Amino acid sequence: MSAPHRIFNFSAGPAVLPEAVLEEAQRDLVALPGVGMSVMEISHRSKAFEDILHRAVADIRALGNIPDNYKVLLLQGGASTQFSLVPMNILTPGATADYIDSGSWAEKAVKEAKKVGTVNVAASTKGENYSRLPLQSELTLTPGAAYVHMTSNNTIEGTEYTTLPEVGDAPLISDTSSNMFSKPIDVAKHGLIYAGAQKNLGPSGVTLVIIREDLIARAPASLHTMFSYKTHAENDSLYNTPPTFGIYVLGLTMKWLRGLGGLEAVAKLNQRKGGKLYAEIDRTGFYRGTAKKDDRSLMNITFRLPSEELEKKFDKEATAAGFDGLKGHRSVGGMRASIYNAFPEAGIDALVAFMQEFEKKNG
Ligand SMILES: *Cc1c(COP(=O)(O)O)cnc(C)c1O
């Protein structure tokens, strides 16, 4: 049986997975070796599944060099649920939470936090269509803030932090949904990190939460059991049925990342991949990057063409040529190439060649 032809998938999420991971999942789908049942058919309390979960968590800990005083949780509900759980657990009564409004997802996080308590928007670049990150000098931080919330990579607008903002003693909470494990991450500089898995970590349905132990204790006793980090931390993500299949595929993806040589090696690959695409965008001025150069994301590369008409044509011809998911988010317009860890370098080379050809014909 020959593998079906795979096209180049630039989707922002759910996104491309490593082919080796898909093949392993396919090979073992009907019966896990030594188990004789599908991973989808076994109890989450079984030894076989506990092994899968523990291996996934161990690989996450190893990849992220996660200190012992942090818990790793694999939950459901997506990053959007974390927009609520973070303030419900960590924004203590009377305190203020600072939010850096650097993009559309950050704005959504602010909206939920405001339902829980007092929020200070420490800075916002919404007025500039989020085309850049707020500068350190623009942040108005609250002394004694419950925490400072940031978005490490702005998926829609294509900006990415390369150094963390300085936030003093307040715990830094980061939504890393679209660049988690695309490069080394200094976990100890954070109080909490969360990411929906479906961009860089695995399939949809799993959410990674890394939380410093002292923050787990902040939740009010009145908080619903399922919404409390404490519940999931005390039960090693097995309080209720976790997303078993998603955790299995996430685990395979972590193993694949380790096989690449860990996050330093992954970062080098991502720099090379992103560098090639930005070099083409900047080559003549026909294409125009929408994010400020210093803030450009290596995961979501946003660019425009000279007119909306040409953008429509580009999208149509790119789709016909076997490139999927290049249409930008409607709030930015133009094109967006999402090139997460699993996106193959050959796809970048093919897109660059396509862009050069398109410019020749239409420039
Ligand atoms: C995709 C995304 C989200 C939303 O994730 P869901 O898992 O769909 O809730 C939140 N934040 C960022 C930065 C994202 O890229």
pLDDT at residue 63, as a whole number: 98
Res 1 pLDDT > 70: no
| Cβ atoms of residues 179 and 201 within 8 Å | no
pLDDT tens column, 301-344: 999 999 999 999 999 999 999 999 999 999 999 999 999 999 99
CATH 3.90.120.10 fits 24-260, yes or no: no
151 lines ligand 1 (CB under 6 A): yes
% of the chain beyond a pLDDT of 90 = 98
pLDDT at residue 38, as a whole number: 98
Which residue lies with its CA nearest to atom 7 of ligand 1?
Answer: 78
Question: How much distance in Å is there from the Cα of 186 to the middle of ligand 1?
Answer: 21
Write phi, then psi, for 137 (nearest 5 degrees).
Answer: -70, -15
pLDDT at residue 3, as a whole number: 65
What residue spans in the chain does CATH classification 3.40.640.10 cover?
A: 24-260
Average predicted confidence (pLDDT) for the chain: 97
Report DSSP letters for 14-34, one per residue. Answer: S----HHHHHHHHHTSSS-TT
Pocket test for ligand 1, best of 112, 157, 178 (most atoms within 8 A of CB): 178
Question: How much distance in Å is there from the Cα of 299 to the middle of ligand 1?
Answer: 14
Q: Mind telling me the catalytic residues?
A: 105, 175, 199
The more confidently predicted of residues 1 and 10 is 10
251 lines ligand 1 (CB under 6 A): no
pLDDT tens column, 237-287: 999 999 999 999 999 999 999 999 999 999 999 999 999 999 999 999 999
Cis ω before 184 (30° cut-off from 0): no
pLDDT tens column, 92-132: 999 999 999 999 999 999 999 999 999 999 999 999 999 99
**Measured from the CA of 78, which atom of ligand 1 is nearest?**
7
Q: Which CATH class is domain 263-362?
A: alpha beta
Name, in order, each residue with C-beta under 8 angstroms of 127's C-beta and a sequence gap of 6 or more.
Answer: none
pLDDT tens column, 193-228: 999 999 999 999 999 999 999 999 999 999 999 999
203 lines ligand 1 (CB under 6 A): no
Across the range 145-162, mean pLDDT stands at 98
Which residue lies with its CA nearest to atom 3 of ligand 1?
Answer: 79
Q: Which amino acid belongs to residue 76?
A: Q
Distance of CA 165 to the CA centre of its chain: 18
Report DSSP letters for 280-293, one per residue. Answer: HHHTTSSSEE-S-G
**Measured from the CA of 178, which atom of ligand 1 is nearest?**
15
Task: Please tell me the pTM assigned to this model.
Answer: 0.98
| Cβ atoms of residues 119 and 63 within 8 Å | no
pLDDT at residue 4, as a whole number: 75
Give the other-Cβ count within 10 Å of 168's Cβ.
11
* Helical spans, DSSP H, in 69-227: 78-90, 104-114, 213-216
246 lines ligand 1 (CB under 6 A): no
196 lines ligand 1 (CB under 6 A): yes
Name, in order, each residue with C-beta under 8 angstroms of 341's C-beta and a sequence gap of 6 or more.
Answer: 18, 181, 182, 200, 257, 266, 269, 270
What residue spans in the chain does CATH classification 3.90.1150.10 cover?
A: 263-362
178 lines ligand 1 (CB under 6 A): yes
Distance of CA 342 to the CA centre of its chain: 13
Measure the CA–CA gap between 171 and 280, rounded to whole angstroms: 39
